[in-house]
Amino acid sequence: MSEYREEDVVTLGRFTSTYGVQGWIKVYSYTDPMENILTYSPWLVRQNGQWTELKRIGGKKHGKGLIARLDKVNSPEQARLFTNLEIGVPKAVLPNLEPGEYYWSQLENLLVYTESGVLLGRVDHLMETGANDVLVVKGTEDSIDREERLIPWLPDQVVKEIDLDSGTMRVDWDPEF
């Protein structure tokens, strides 16, 4: 099995629980639409801090979710070993984005500053809310406070600038919110 460096992997989902008696496992996908995760190969799984390849021999939509079948996993007991593990893919297999488009994983851990230079914190993760996605920004040791802020992902309106090279984002946001 090949190992991958953290910076060469994008997390696209995670395994949640076993399904059935033949070793299938439920998949929670971060892709939109959710079944897009099934189009990527190879899948990687992070175990003991290392990303390694995992051979998927099946996958499909099932009810409101997804299930997958992994090579050499033939029982619920074997599938249980993968529950709660993240699923990643090598960045190299992802399609190139248009300028101004970002994968969520690129936004996570960016430092968030107001337009006047006040550090609000670091992007912890993003959430889908229906109307628009939301950045969950958690205060850091150096930020204005330790508060968690929910900042709408509205490029040009709220999110003014993203600089992946410097690991920063500038937003039009009142620190009091």
Distance of CA 80 to the CA centre of its chain: 22
Write the CB contacts of 147 (distance below 8 Å, at least 6 apart in sequence).
121, 139
What residues does 54 pair with on adjacent strands? 43
Q: What is the CATH number of domain 104-171?
A: 2.30.30.240
**What is the Rg, in whole angstroms, of the alpha carbon atoms belonging to the chain?**
18
Tell whether the model's pLDDT for residue 1 goes beyond 80. no
Tell me, what's the pLDDT at 61? 96
131-144 residue pLDDT tens = 889 999 999 999 99
Which contiguous run of DSSP H or E holds residue 77?
A: helix 76-80
Domain boundaries, the chain: 3-92, 104-171
Q: How far apart are CA 121 and CA 144, in angstroms?
A: 8
Q: Give me 39's structure tokens.
A: 């189009």
Q: What is the pTM of this model?
A: 0.72
Q: Give me 63's structure tokens.
A: 């009810």
Write the CB contacts of 36 (distance below 8 Å, at least 6 apart in sequence).
29
Mean pLDDT of 72-94: 94
Tell whether the model's pLDDT for residue 22 goes beyond 90. yes
- Architecture of the structural domain at 3-92: Beta Barrel (2.40)
Write the CB contacts of 127 (distance below 8 Å, at least 6 apart in sequence).
133, 134, 136, 150
Mean pLDDT of 114-141: 93
Same CATH topology for 3-92 and 104-171: the answer is: no
